[in-house]
Amino acid sequence: MSDRDYDPYARLDPVPSFPLTSEDITDGQPLPAALYGADAGGEDRSPQLTWSDPPAGTKSFAVTVYDPDAPTGSGFWHWAVADIPADVTSLPAGGPLPEGAVLLKNELRQAAFTGATPPQGTGVHRYFVVVHAADVESLGVDPDITPAVLGFNLHFHTLGRAILVGTGEFGGAGA
């Protein structure tokens, strides 16, 4: 298995999946220019997402965007949102987030979505866009925690997971 085959969710406890669609992301396909970082010719715009049929007992959702292929040894968190109310089943492109949602700081320490910006020479990166169905209304997370700590908390409260994977590479926003 190469590093490019690594699935960051494969080592976690298995949970049911549920449908996730996007007007911006097609699973396994390149991201549109708007989802790239401003420094890479994009707009740093969060994707439009719609999900349905979460597992019974879902009381909230969290959304994360993670690049396991970043040349860091630990990947790169682009976006992390917790405590999305259970009656919300979509997010518009670029926001706003629903009332009650907690936006965490990403790897750049910004409470925002940071678009794809793969460095030259690092190949194709995968962007795991994940909606996590949680069994609690609030994960009780502080907006200053890291997305990795959110993931740790989600490990104990995830009932289901919906995943889309977009791809990106250096110069992709200009293609």
Number of domains composing the chain: 1
Distance CA 127, CA 66 (A): 6
Half-sphere exposure of 64 (CA within 13 A, CB side): 24
Note whether residue 131 is domain-resident. Answer: yes
pLDDT in the model for residue 3: 60
Q: Is residue 14 part of a domain?
A: no
Please report the pLDDT score of residue 5 as a whole number: 75
Task: Enter the pTM of the model.
Answer: 0.96
Please give the Cα distance from 64 to 79 (Å, whole number): 5
Please tell me the distance from the alpha carbon of residue 145 to that of residue 64, in angstroms, as a whole number: 14
pLDDT of residue 6: 83
**So what's the pLDDT on residue 1?**
45
CATH code of residue 169: 3.90.280.10
Q: Which domain does 118 fall in, by range? A: 3-9+20-174
- pLDDT tens for the chain, 175 residues long, are 456 678 999 999 999 999 999 999 999 999 999 999 999 999 999 999 999 999 999 999 999 999 999 999 999 999 999 999 999 999 999 999 999 999 999 999 999 999 999 999 999 999 999 999 999 999 999 999 999 999 999 999 999 999 999 999 999 887 5
- 15 domain residue, yes or no: no
Residues 17, 162 contacting (CB under 8 angstroms):
yes
